[in-house]
Structure 1
Amino acid sequence: MIVLLLLLAHLVADFWLQTDAMVKNKMKNLKKHMLHHLLTTGLILVIIWGYSHHFTNIFSYLLFPLAFIVMSHLVIDILKIKLLDTIKAKDSNSLKKLWFFLVDQLLHITMLLITCMIFFHMTAPKIVTRLLQLLSEENEIGSLGVLNTFLFIVILFILATSVSGHIINLLVGSLPSEFANFEGKFTLNNQLTEEKSSHPSKIDSHFTEQYHYLTYSNPLPSRGKLIGYVERLLVISLTIVGAYPSIAFIIAAKSIARFKQLDDRNWAEYFLLGTLASILLGLVLGLLAKKIIM
């Protein structure tokens, strides 16, 4: 329970309480970001302190672990920001930013596990053994318990929505505005006729002009993000119940809705990469949930 609670606090502070503006200029908003972690982690540690240790030894079970988590998070974030600043001028490759993000999150989770081992008397073999038990074929239904199952579902929801959305955004890069608003294109033919009446027989001169137009829409900024959230949650649900063929209908529905835009090759490649990445993440999280919960 302690590991899940600390992981939940980290995800809430890093993804739910952090705005897009804070992500773009993290150094400027670093104090606000650390305040989010201080509040969420502090609240969770108070719950752990009261539930497991009956509000005794405040330094060992509350203040020291809180200081360790916040300070380690601060150091990791500053190092990440400095490293990202060094590659911005040389390379804008989104894959590098994605690797930085994954390593950053792995380091934060490692610090949470170290906190559990130092301050809450857990051991690495015990944590690994428990994880292997949950992923094994012999895992019994309900072995997590009601509270841990609830925490796992909330964490899974955050991973399927905000975390996966950020990963996909880093993977495919930012979408140019002309692709984001592109709806389709059409051609108009204009024919002009000139008559010369001076000659006994009329001579018609025909002039044909073609005009090519691109049509654009003004979509709501959060609409695509919300579609991605619902898509991955549906894939997770279908994976848990084993309805894998139904996942194909999700891809078909998205393709039909974007049929006109698929005429543009650049937009089609962007759409295909984002959709496949979203489906893949949904499948991985769904299989994980099926192993642990079911």
Structure 2
Amino acid sequence: MIIMFLIFVLAHCLSDFIIQTDSIIKKKQDNSNRVFNEGIFIHIIHHFIIGVMLLVLFGNIKINLVFALIIICFVHYFIDLLKIKYDEKMIEYTKNDESWRKNIFYFLLEKRTILFLLDQTVHILTIYMVLKFFNYVFSINEIASLVIDFYQDAITISLTTKITSVAILLILLTWGSSYLIAEFFKDIKKELNMNPEITASIEDHQQGENLSLIESQINALHRNITVERTWEFSASENEKRSIKIQFQNFNEADNNSVGKYIGIFERILIAIFVFLGAYQGLVLLGGFKTLTRFKQFEDKSFAEYYLIGTLFSMLIGVTIGEIIKKIVMN
């Protein structure tokens, strides 16, 4: 009975983390004040189509399962509607209202990472509750007992269950964790008070009239950059003087998709190293990653930001890699 739950979770992961594009997310945000949200509607249509395709693929297409999928998609719509409408408002409200700081939920509600995990938990619980209503899943106690037996090698899981489980874990390892890490970075960036900082070194102060203009242009780029310019001029007939200006902006994270794909490949490699038991590869991978950011470690805030993010990404990669290894070797 666990396979049906895994199929529905796989459909959710595919629609939420892979099929959902940036344009769909933008449509969600643009229609956040409407009951009919075009972006969310497109998203749940994708969810329904993927769910039906998986049921057909696994040979489990039945009327009651299709009806269960419709209910799950319907609830999914309103969960996303509430999230897109209230998550930013909730964060701002708890931040600005001093009375909330004494509330036990303040720490949780102001964190985007927690809100993301809460949203995904509600989706998974919805799938479980709907399937439980149709008697397609075990009780919580039975599932807990199965998990314990699995880790004690007391049961053997089927090939279909292995394939479905590994597919879900691979999605979480790559695209799913990218969403989570993006939210996590927003939280730690706020905790570290990482505002863009510009530093400059001038070897001749007499030539610094255009410093503020250059600084504002560099700052407007909002990227991790180092810019260095050197000029040489004649102070007299027999003397030449030079001026060098260097600007650095290391605190601001790169706002492009390259970092996301690097993170995905990084976690894939971590999981492969863990699966093969080649843990020394993690050290090599960390070394290569550090070399690409070596100059930026001059900024203490960036170094802290980089270290926390790297450790979090490695924790995800190692954890999922170990679970995949356990499932495949069962």
Structure 1 residues 190, 211: CA separation in 2 closer, same or farther (over 3 Å shift)?
farther
Query: How many residues were matched structurally?
Result: 274
- Kept in 2, the 8 Å contact 1:98–1:171? The answer is yes
Structure 1 residues 21, 96: CA separation in 2 closer, same or farther (over 3 Å shift)?
farther
- Kept in 2, the 8 Å contact 1:95–1:170? The answer is no
- 1:224 paired to 2:259: yes
Q: CA deviation at 1:185?
A: 4.5
Q: Deviations over 1:203-230 (max 9, x none)?
A: x7775533225599xx994322221111
Cα separation, 1, equivalents of 2:259 and 2:88: 29
Q: Which amino acid aligns with 2:270?
A: V
Q: Give the structure 1 partner of residue 121 of structure 2.
A: 106
Question: Sequence identity, in percent?
Answer: 28
The root-mean-square deviation of aligned C-alpha atoms, in Å, is: 3.3
Cα separation, 2, equivalents of 1:215 and 1:164: 27
Structure 1 residues 223, 81: CA separation in 2 closer, same or farther (over 3 Å shift)?
closer
Structure 1 residues 276, 25: CA separation in 2 closer, same or farther (over 3 Å shift)?
farther
Q: Deviations over 1:220-243 (max 9, x none)?
A: 943222211111011111112322
Q: Give the structure 2 partner of residue 199 of structure 1.
A: none
Q: CA deviation at 1:178?
A: 7.1
Cα separation, 2, equivalents of 1:252 and 1:146: 37
Q: Deviations over 1:37-70 (max 9, x none)?
A: 221223334556xx357x5xx2x3322x122211
Structure 1 residues 156, 97: CA separation in 2 closer, same or farther (over 3 Å shift)?
same
Where structure 2 has 5 or more consecutive residues not aligned to the other structure, the ranges are 32-38, 97-106, 197-218
TM-score when normalising by structure 2: 0.71
| Aligned partner of residue 28 in structure 2, secondary structure | coil
Q: Give the structure 2 partner of residue 151 of structure 1.
A: 164
Cα separation, 2, equivalents of 1:180 and 1:242: 40
Q: Where does structure 1 differ by over 6 angstroms across 4 or more consecutive aligned residues?
A: 92-95, 174-180
| Aligned partner of residue 73 in structure 1, secondary structure | helix
Matches within 5 A, 1:132-143: 132-134=148-150, 136-139=151-154, 143=156
Q: CA deviation at 1:179?
A: 8.4
Q: Which amino acid aligns with 1:127?
A: I
Where structure 1 has 5 or more consecutive residues not aligned to the other structure, the ranges are 196-203
TM-score when normalising by structure 1: 0.79
Q: Give the structure 1 partner of residue 226 of structure 2.
A: 184
- 1:78 paired to 2:81: yes
Q: Give the structure 2 partner of residue 212 of structure 1.
A: 246
Cα separation, 1, equivalents of 2:315 and 2:73: 33
Once the two structures are overlaid, the 10-residue window that deviates more, 117-126 or 223-232, is 117-126
Cα separation, 2, equivalents of 1:133 and 1:180: 52
| Aligned partner of residue 289 in structure 1, secondary structure | helix
Structure 1 residues 52, 188: CA separation in 2 closer, same or farther (over 3 Å shift)?
closer
- 1:237 paired to 2:277: no
